[in-house]
Amino acid sequence: MLRAAGVEFSADPAAVDEAAIKREHRAAGRDALVCAMALAEAKARVVAARHPLALVIGADQILVADDEWFDKPDDFEAAAAQLRRLRGHSHSLVTAACVFRDDMRLWHAISMPKLRMRNFGEAFLSGYIAAEGDAVLGSVGAYRIEGRGVQLFAHVEGDHFSILGLPLLELLEFLRERGILAK
């Protein structure tokens, strides 16, 4: 998304224990919004420590259906089970992003698009997973709405970029305010 928007950047993955952060937040009774921001901040802090003075973007997303939090599926069976669980129901994608410089958070945003999956059949589900292959394992919802996954949905409400994993319009505004992008 950043590249398509004309923003120059380099990627530097952060190795944080996402499962431990999620367990900690669930045990403390914190909601997905707080946890998603904690994940984004943890990632940004780790990378910012390796790149002094750089602006570092951290982002994360948690899929919430009712009170259940979903992770990326481990295998195709888990992806199919997850999509069956979401089929015919609504869920939210809690999307958090922040920008750090050194150990200071300069900006943050949270977005919560709501999506309702249609009541698709088993034949569609099998064909979808076969066609998408490993891509279903790389997404918290086992779908990519920017691709074939859009066929899973009956209704989408909210920011498209946040569904893809980053509140891009808000981030671009921050970068313009900082003079990194032209106004």
Strand partners, 45: none
Residue 144 in tokens: 């990519």
Strand (E) or helix (H) holding 46: helix 32-50
Closest C-alpha to 162, from 125, 122, 114: 114
In the 8-state DSSP scheme, what is residue 158? S
| pLDDT per position as a tens digit, 126-181 | 999 999 999 999 999 999 999 999 999 999 999 999 999 999 999 999 999 999 99
Cα–Cα distance measured from residue 129 to residue 148, given in angstroms and rounded to the nearest whole number: 10
- The answer to whether residues 97 and 167 touch, using CB atoms and an 8 Å cutoff, is yes
pLDDT of residue 152: 97
- The answer to whether residues 136 and 146 touch, using CB atoms and an 8 Å cutoff, is no
Q: Which residues contact 85 (CB under 8 A, 6 or more apart)?
A: 65, 68
Q: Which domains does the chain have, with CATH numbers?
A: 18-177 (3.90.950.10)
Place of tokens 């199919």: 80
The one catalytic residue in 12, 17, 60, 71 is 60
- The answer to whether residues 128 and 148 touch, using CB atoms and an 8 Å cutoff, is yes
Catalytic (active site) residue 60: yes
Residue 135 in tokens: 């891509």
| pLDDT per position as a tens digit, 70-127 | 999 999 999 999 999 999 999 999 999 999 999 999 999 999 999 999 999 999 999 9
- pTM of the full predicted structure? 0.92
